[in-house]
């Protein structure tokens, strides 16, 4: 809500306080459903059902659909079975299904009992679509025309049946077997001669999706073709629903957030941050922290193996953080780029060799640059200013040796890190896992182990331990 709305919200609260309900009803009715839902959400729970009853019947369902599950269940609990049934009729099926998926079992039972048999059947059909599928986000309220209609009859049809449709701006054409055959934007209907047949102006090159398609794929198609809605068909190509662009926006935003969370080693959640409890946040974060911590056993084991060498060459440990962080960062860059590319459809699985070859070349130049920078840094900053001691007698010869070990390790680390960062997300996608998990934290743990092995192998060969 912006500031104007917040001032108005305070005035609305005053009206409620003074029990001036007719004035309140006139005012809230001018609000859009999103702001009205936000206003209601901030009311104390015990007043919510009463105030919700003040909404006009036709906007009530819209406002309800915009509310959070907690508030929805409070409102439902304050309703009679008849009121629930009538609101279910007013809700779009996809909104009703969204709500049911979040409700406690007891309330779901009561809602389903209150629904008409047709609504109940339709809701059950939608609930059966797999989570994250196009079927689970689509709506069944679409306008469906026949190719022999004229534009005039079509517009008349839309006038009569369009009011409770999710969008009236795109109509779909189906044949007698309900198979999708064409699409007509309302714009074409409006601009065409009223007596033209729909079949003559419809676009037969319809872009569509299947109910079992992934919702992210469907959203990407809507975004790619800049369309207002994507028709969804079943296996027999019969039109069963549509996904609108605003649903696509929500899906893409949710998927981006989920990817970002997974990349940061957090289990994804669909609740906004400020409404997630400390305990819930903890449960989303601790599994990966524990897993990654325990997998550090490998790095520990490697260092343990070289413990006596470290006793002699303690200087080697000075570069642990730099080597591991640089490896982790380089690997993270690759993995995150690839994960995002896969998710936007810019990178396909069949591109794996081209991607790998490119990453190796990028790694080679990055590795050379960083090795050169490391050399200068180690020789000038670390040895000159910090006066690192090299062995007991620390002569230049040994400085050069240490610098060489670090530089070679940095170069190898970058190459390995970028290869690991490329192959893990692509491999994950290949075997049907979510690539987003293969991001920085996971890569870092693996790269750390590999970098330490490289480091000690090179060091033990050069320093003979």
> Minimum CB separation from its own copies for residue 465, in Å?
13
CA distance 343 to 335: 12
**Strand intervals (E) in 47-168:** 144-145
Distance separating alpha carbons of residues 402 and 409, to the nearest angstrom: 11
433 contacts 349 by C-beta, under 8 angstroms: no
Q: Which is closer to its own copies, CB of 72 or CB of 335?
A: 335
Per the listing, tokens 């290869």 go with 419
Smallest gap from residue 246 Cβ to its own copies (A): 4
| Smallest separation, CB 103 to its own copies (Å) | 22
Residues 6+ away with beta carbon under 8 Å from 216: 132, 251, 252, 255, 343
Give Cα separations from 357 to 341, 368, 412, 461 (angstroms). Answer: 16, 17, 16, 30
Nearer to its own copies, 88 or 154 (CB): 154
| Cα 438 → chain centroid | 16
The residue (of 106 and 300) whose beta carbon lies closer to its own copies is 300
User: 83 or 234: whose CB is closer to its own copies?
Assistant: 234
For residue 461, the minimal CB distance to its own copies (Å) is: 20
CB of 43 to its own copies, least distance (A): 20
Q: Find out whether 160 and 265 touch, Cβ atoms under 8 Å.
A: no
Q: Whole-number minimum distance, CB 234 to its own copies, in Å?
A: 18
CA atoms of 368 and 361, how far apart (whole Å):
11
DSSP state of 3: H
Question: Of 114 and 244, which has the nearer Cβ to its own copies?
Answer: 244
Identify which of residues 97 and 417 has a Cβ nearer to its own copies in the complex.
417
Residue 202, CA distances (Å) to 170, 197, 207 in order = 11, 9, 13
């Amino acid at each position: 809500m912006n500031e104007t709305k917040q001032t108005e919200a305070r005035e609305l609260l005053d009206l409620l306080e003074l029990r001036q309900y007719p004035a309140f009803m006139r005012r809230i009715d001018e609000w859009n459903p999103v702001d009205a839902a936000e206003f209601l959400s901030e009311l104390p729970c015990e007043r919510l059902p009463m105030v919700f009853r003040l909404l006009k019947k036709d906007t009530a369902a819209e406002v309800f659909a915009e509310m959070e599950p907690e508030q929805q269940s409070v409102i439902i609990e304050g309703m009679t079975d008849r009121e629930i049934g009538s609101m279910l009729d007013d809700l779009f099926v996809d909104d009703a299904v969204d709500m049911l998926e979040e409700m406690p079992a007891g309330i779901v039972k009561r809602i389903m009992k209150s629904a008409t048999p047709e609504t109940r059947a339709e809701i059950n059909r939608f609930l059966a679509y797999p989570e994250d599928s196009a079927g689970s986000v689509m709506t069944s309220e679409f306008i469906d025309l026949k190719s022999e209609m004229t534009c005039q009859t079509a517009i008349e049809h839309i006038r009569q049946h369009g009011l409770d449709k999710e969008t009236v701006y795109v109509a779909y054409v189906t044949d007698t077997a309900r198979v999708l055959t064409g699409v007509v934007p309302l714009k074409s209907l409006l601009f065409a001669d009223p007596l033209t047949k729909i079949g003559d102006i419809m676009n037969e090159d319809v872009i569509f999706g299947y109910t079992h398609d992934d919702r992210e794929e469907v959203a990407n198609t809507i975004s790619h073709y800049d369309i207002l809605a994507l028709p969804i068909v079943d296996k027999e190509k019969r039109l069963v629903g549509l996904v609108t662009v605003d649903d696509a926006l929500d899906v893409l935003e949710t998927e981006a957030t989920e990817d970002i969370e997974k990349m940061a080693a957090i289990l994804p959640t669909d609740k906004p941050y400020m409404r997630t409890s400390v305990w819930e946040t903890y449960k989303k974060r601790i599994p990966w922290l524990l897993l990654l911590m325990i997998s550090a056993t490998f790095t520990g084991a490697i260092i343990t193996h070289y413990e006596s060498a470290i006793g002699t060459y303690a200087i080697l440990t000075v570069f642990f953080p730099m080597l591991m962080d640089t490896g982790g960062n380089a690997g993270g860059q690759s993995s995150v780029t690839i994960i995002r590319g896969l998710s936007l459809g810019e990178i396909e699985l069949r591109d794996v060799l081209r991607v790998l070859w490119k990453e190796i070349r990028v790694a080679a130049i990055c590795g050379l640059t960083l090795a050169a920078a490391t050399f200068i840094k180690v020789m000038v900053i670390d040895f000159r200013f910090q006066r690192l001691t090299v062995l007991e007698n620390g002569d230049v010869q040994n400085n050069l040796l240490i610098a060489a070990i670090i530089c070679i390790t940095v170069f190898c680390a970058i190459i390995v890190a970028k290869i690991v960062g490329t192959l893990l997300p692509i491999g994950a996608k290949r075997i049907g896992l979510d690539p987003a998990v293969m991001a920085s934290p996971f890569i870092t743990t693996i790269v750390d182990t590999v970098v330490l092995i490289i480091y000690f192998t090179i060091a033990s060969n050069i320093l003979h331990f």
